[in-house]
Amino acid sequence: MEDKLRSLQQEAIEKVNEAQDLKELNNIRVAYLGKKGPVTEALKGMGKLSAEERPKMGALANEVRGAITETIEAKQAVLEKEAVEKKLQSETIDVTLPGRPVKKGNHHPLTMIVEEIEDLFIGMGYTVAEGPEVEKDYYNFEALNLPKGHPARDMQDSFYITEETLLRTHTSPVQARTMELAKGKGPIKIICPGKVYRRDTDDATHSHQFTQIEGLVIDENIRMSDLKGTLNVFAKKMFGEDREIRLRPSFFPFTEPSVEMDISCKICGGKGCRVCKGTGWIEILGAGMVHPNVLEMAGFDSKKYTGFAFGMGPERIAMLKYGIDDIRHFYTNDTRFVTQFGTEE
């Protein structure tokens, strides 16, 4: 029995030492030390031994079991360490690999222009005002000296919602609303950016929905020269000192006198093209001195207060600044167009 136990010990230890992984090691443990294993079987046969031999063989069997268990534990520690190292190696991250850039969005050129114009006027002491896009006929027309049936209403073909409400055709109703809120007391110095809507036929420079930025200054002693000076500063800052500007006499029922401002066309350098309709100039804004009727209707004393107002189209300004040849590019969402401007956000 002694020989059998010793050879079992040697055989088990050899197998343990050759085990390649933890699974194989566990199989060896079950095979040699499990309930049906040879060591247990040998111990079961102890009853057949003499009283003198029994304690001796019992001690030997425990020694063999202990030696196999010890070897298994030592091997287990080695295999576990190897397994961890193998896993670490397979999951290694190469931190020297360059990362893949994540594509983010970027500012729309129209947003950039509106923000640039806002910054410019805020720098001149203006505050930003807002008004509704669904507007009352009263603020869009009547309070601006355009009573019902006035022929000049045809200048801005409108989308009506009810008899008395429409999609605003310009940002000028914000003038009327701001003056009304001021209750006849100046000064007022605001700009108002926002969307406007007209039943215009879309072409290279016209859209049925576009953006305007309104400006309004009301105080004592405001003169036409203040308006001219302001528009000059704006145009030079926006387009550079070398671009040509011209003011043309015009007509708006809410200003008197009225003007329109044109900028020389960047696309053709003033020679005439599709964008400037062969004239070499593009109109970017309408302006004038606030009509006394408009001041009085909003509760201002027109003998004490005077003011100027302007309304510009930022799409046209962006077209002139960046040399964009069709206003429809702003609305068709082609990312190849939009990503050409500004920085990624």
Binding site for ligand FA5 (CB under 6 A): 170, 172, 198, 200, 206-207, 210, 212, 214, 252, 255, 283-288, 309-313, 315-316, 327
Output the smallest distance, CB 101 to ligand FA5, in A.
Answer: 36
* Residue facing ligand FA5 at closest CB distance: 313
Provide the CB-side half-sphere exposure for 177 (13 A, CA): 18
Q: Helices in the chain by DSSP H: which ranges?
A: 2-18, 22-33, 38-44, 53-90, 109-123, 137-140, 173-182, 224-239, 292-297, 314-322, 335-338
Q: Which is nearer to ligand FA5, 58 or 229 (CB)?
A: 229
Output the smallest distance, CB 134 to ligand FA5, in A.
Answer: 17
Output the smallest distance, CB 91 to ligand FA5, in A.
Answer: 58
Neighbours of 58 (CB within 10 A): 13
Output the smallest distance, CB 105 to ligand FA5, in A.
Answer: 25
Q: Which helix (H) or strand (E) covers residue 298, if one does?
A: none
Q: Which is nearer to ligand FA5, 178 or 212 (CB)?
A: 212
Q: Which is nearer to ligand FA5, 75 or 198 (CB)?
A: 198
List CB contacts of 193: < 8 A, sequence separation 6 or more.
114, 117, 118, 128, 171, 211, 212, 213, 214, 314
Output the smallest distance, CB 215 to ligand FA5, in A.
Answer: 7
Q: Which is nearer to ligand FA5, 71 or 212 (CB)?
A: 212
Q: Which is nearer to ligand FA5, 133 or 200 (CB)?
A: 200
How far apart CA 276 and CA 267 sit, in angstroms, is: 8
